Amino acid sequence: MQAAVVSIPAAIGSGAERSAKLRRATTADAIFERLYSDILALRMPPGMVLQEKKIAEEFNVSRTPVREALLRLSEGGLVDIYPQSGTVVSRVPVAAIPEAVVVRKSLEGTTVERAAEVATPADIARLDTVISRQRSLAALNDTSAFHEEDEAFHEAIAGIAGYPGIWGILKTVKVQIDRARRLTLPVLGRMDNVVYEHGLIRDAIAAHDAAAARAAMLHHLSAVIPDVAELRVRYPDYFC
Amino acid sequence: MQAAVVSIPAAIGSGAERSAKLRRATTADAIFERLYSDILALRMPPGMVLQEKKIAEEFNVSRTPVREALLRLSEGGLVDIYPQSGTVVSRVPVAAIPEAVVVRKSLEGTTVERAAEVATPADIARLDTVISRQRSLAALNDTSAFHEEDEAFHEAIAGIAGYPGIWGILKTVKVQIDRARRLTLPVLGRMDNVVYEHGLIRDAIAAHDAAAARAAMLHHLSAVIPDVAELRVRYPDYFC
DNA sequence: CGCATCAAATTGATATACTAGTATTCGCGG
DNA sequence: CCGCGAATACTAGTATATCAATTTGATGCG
C-alpha cells in the first residue's frame, strides 16, 4: 500500500459544502432516515425485532442498503445487532440518560455562552420566529411538530455560536433522551413551560449576558429530564 | 411492519457488557481498525487515494467488508468518499479544529470536575501509573507509545468520573486534532510539558479541588492545540 | 494551438447467492 | 417429569456479479 498523495481536482478542496457534493442522496440514506424517525417516534418500539430481509422486501430494495442503514443506526445506539442472530430496536439505556444530560448541559452551556457573545439582531429574530411558532403549536397541542421546533431552537443557538459540529454531536446524544421523553411529554402544561424557558434563554442571549444565558439553559435542560423511574414501571419492556 | 415486541432471551438485557457480546470481531471491524490506525498514525497520509478493490485484494476479502469499514471511516471524517469517483484519506479539516478544541474543553472540563469530586485513592493510583509510564516514554522519546498513554490518561479521568460515553464522544472528536498533532509533536520538550501538566491535573483531582482541576485541564488542552498555521506551510497537501 | 465533445475506463451502488454462527426445539435418557 | 444434547431452522456476515454514473483522456473541429 503505497502513499499516492495525488489530488482529486474537481470535488476536493471545497470543505465547506462537503456534505453537499460528496454523498448525494442514496437509497441507504433514505432507509436510514425512515427507520430513524420510526424509532424516534416509537412507531418501532424498543425491543421490536428487525430483520434485514423483511425490511428489504418492504422497501423493495436489496439487503445491502438496508444493512448499511442498520449499521449506522447501531452506531448511534438505536438498534442492537446480534451477529448471526438478530437485530432489535434497542431498549432505551436508562443508565446512559444521566450521562447524556451531562453532555447536553456541558455542550449547550458552552454553546449558549458563545451565542450570547456573538448574536446579532438577525439571530435574535430567528429565535423569536421559532419561539412564536412553538407558542402556536403548544396551543394546538401538536406535540410532534412542537418537538421539531424544539430541535430547531437548540440548533439555531448552535448555529449562532458558529458550532455546527457541536449540534451534530448533540443530535446523537439527544436521541435516547428524546425517545424516553416521547413517552412522558403528554404532561399537561409542559409545552408552555418549555416556551417560557426558551424565552428566558432568548432574552439572555439578546442581552449578551453569557452567564445568564448559561444559567437559563442549564435550568431548562434540568427540567426536561424524563422521569425515568416512573417510565420504568409504565413501560418496563422499553428500558434496560 | 408490525410491532413484535418479543424478547431475545440470551443476549439481551445485559446492557452493561453490550459491546462485548454483541459484535464479536467481524472482518469488517478488523479492517476498520487497521485502516483507522493507519490513518491516525499517518501511515496513510491525508490525500492518499484508496480503492475498495485494492484494499480488498490486500486483505484477501471481498469488497463488502471493506466497503463497510470505509463507510464507518467516512462518518468519522477520516476518509472522503466521492461517489463514482474515488475515496481518499481526508485532509485534516483545519476549519473544524477550533471547534473540536471547544468540545474537548467543554466536555473534559466537566469530566475532570466530576472526577475531582468522586476520585478514590485507587483512582489516583491509576493516574499515577499512567503518568509515570509517560515520564519513561518521554525519556525514551517514544512518541507513538507516549500518545497511547496520553489517551489512557484522559480515558482514565472519564472512567473515574463515571462517564464512559463521554470518552467515546471525545475519541471521535480528538481524531482530527491528533492527526494534526502527530505532525507537530516532535517539538523538543513538548512531552515533558505534557507530563508536567498531567501532574497538575492529577494533583488537583487528588485534592478534590474541582475548580483547580478544571483550570488545569483547560490550560492543558489549550497547550496542545496544534499550530495549524505552521503546519499548513510545512504540509500544504495535508490540510484543507 | 486551444477548446469542446465523445468515448472508454474506473469506481461506487445495488442485487443475488452462499457461508457460517446462533438459538430454539425436539427427542432421548435419567 | 426434568435436564441435557444434538439437529434443525433462521439470521447476519461475506462473496460474487451486474449496473450505473462520473471522470478523464484523446480526438477532432474551430
Residue ranges of domains in chain B: 23-89, 94-238
SS (H, E, C) chain B: CCCCECCCCCCCCCCCCHHHHCCCCCHHHHHHHHHHHHHHCCCCCCCEEECHHHHHHHHCCCHHHHHHHHHHHHHCCCEEEECCCEEEECCECHHHHHHHHHHHHHHHHHHHHHHHHHCCHHHHHHHHHHHHHHHHHHHHCCHHHHHHHHHHHHHHHHHHHCCHHHHHHHHHHHHHHHHHHHCCCCCCCHHHHHHHHHHHHHHHHHCCCHHHHHHHHHHHHHHCCCCHHHHHHHCHHHEC
Q: Which of A16, A106, A240 sits opposite B13 (nearest CB)?
A: A240
Beta bridge partners of B86: B82
Q: Which of B3, B26, B83 sits opposite A45 (nearest CB)?
A: B3
pLDDT of residue B7: 32
Cell numbers for B170, please give them.
Answer: 471525545
Architecture of domain A96-234: Up-down Bundle (1.20)
- Cα distances (Å, whole numbers) of residue B212 to A47, A211, B203, B208, B218: 44, 20, 9, 9, 10
Are residues A106 and B107 in contact, defined by beta-carbon separation less than 8 angstroms? yes
Least confident window among A163-167, B80-84, B152-156, B231-235? B231-235
pLDDT of residue B23: 59
Of B106 and A182, the one with more pLDDT: B106
Residue A81 CB lies within 7 Å of the nucleic strand C: no
CB pairs under 8 A between A and B: 143
Residue B19's pLDDT band, with cuts at 50, 70 and 90, is very low
Contacts of A4 in chain B (CB under 8 A): 48-49
Q: Does A86 sit within 8 Å of B22, measured CB to CB?
A: no
Q: How far apart are CA A232 and CA B14, in angstroms?
A: 16
Contacts of A163 in chain B (CB under 8 A): 99, 102
Q: Which of B22, B24, B55 sits opposite A80 (nearest CB)?
A: B22
pLDDT of residue B230: 77
A233 lies within 8 A of chain B by CB: no
What is the Cβ-side half-sphere exposure of residue A120, based on CA atoms within 13 angstroms?
4
Residue B65 CB lies within 7 Å of the nucleic strand D: yes
Interior angle at CA B231, CA B230 and CA B234, nearest 5: 95
pLDDT of residue B169: 95
Cell numbers for B106, please give them.
Answer: 467543554
pLDDT < 70 regions, chain A: 1-25, 185-188
Q: Does A102 sit within 8 Å of B110, measured CB to CB?
A: yes
Please name which of A155, A151, A150 lies closest in space to residue A115, comparing C-alpha atoms: A155
Residue B240's pLDDT band, with cuts at 50, 70 and 90, is confident
pLDDT of residue B154: 97
pLDDT of residue B231: 74
Residue B186's pLDDT band, with cuts at 50, 70 and 90, is low
* pLDDT over 70 at B68, yes or no: yes
B166 lies within 8 A of chain A by CB: yes
Q: Does B107 sit within 8 Å of A165, measured CB to CB?
A: no
Are residues A88 and A80 in contact, defined by beta-carbon separation less than 8 angstroms? yes
Q: CATH for B94-238?
A: 1.20.120.530
Q: Does A71 sit within 8 Å of B75, measured CB to CB?
A: no
Q: Does A169 sit within 8 Å of B5, measured CB to CB?
A: no
Q: Does B82 sit within 8 Å of A8, measured CB to CB?
A: yes
Q: How far apart are CA A127 and CA A145, in angstroms?
A: 16
Residue A84 CB lies within 7 Å of the nucleic strand C: yes
Give the distance, in angstroms, between the CA of residue B208 and the centroid of all CA atoms in the same chain: 26
pLDDT of residue A223: 86
For residue A122, with 0-12 CB atoms within 10 Å meaning exposed, 13-18 middle and 19 or more buried, which class applies? exposed
Architecture of domain B23-89: Orthogonal Bundle (1.10)
SS3 assignment, position A123: helix
Of A62 and B120, the one with more pLDDT: B120
Q: Which of B22, B49, B166 sits opposite A6 (nearest CB)?
A: B49
Interior angle at CA B163, CA B124 and CA B23, nearest 5: 115
Q: Which nucleotides in chain C lie closer than 7 A to a protein CB?
A: 10-17, 20-24
Are residues A158 and A164 in contact, defined by beta-carbon separation less than 8 angstroms? yes
Q: How far apart are CA A231 and CA B65, in angstroms?
A: 39
Secondary-structure breakdown of chain A: helix, strand, coil percentages, each rounded to the nearest 5: 65, 5, 25
| Nucleotide showing the shortest C1' distance to residue A10 CA | D23
pLDDT of residue A229: 77
Identify the DSSP state of A71: H
pLDDT of residue A185: 53
* pLDDT over 70 at B18, yes or no: no
Please name which of B63, B11, B2 lies closest in space to residue A55, comparing C-alpha atoms: B2
- With the C-alpha atoms ordered A3, A6, A8, A12, is the resulting torsion angle positive or negative? positive
Are residues A104 and A217 in contact, defined by beta-carbon separation less than 8 angstroms? no
pLDDT of residue B113: 97
Cell numbers for A228, please give them.
Answer: 425515568
- Residue A197 is inside which H or E element, if any? helix A190-206
Summarised one tens digit per residue, pLDDT across range B143-167 is 889 999 999 999 999 999 999 999 9
* pLDDT over 70 at B139, yes or no: yes
Summarised one tens digit per residue, pLDDT across range A15-32 is 323 333 445 567 888 889
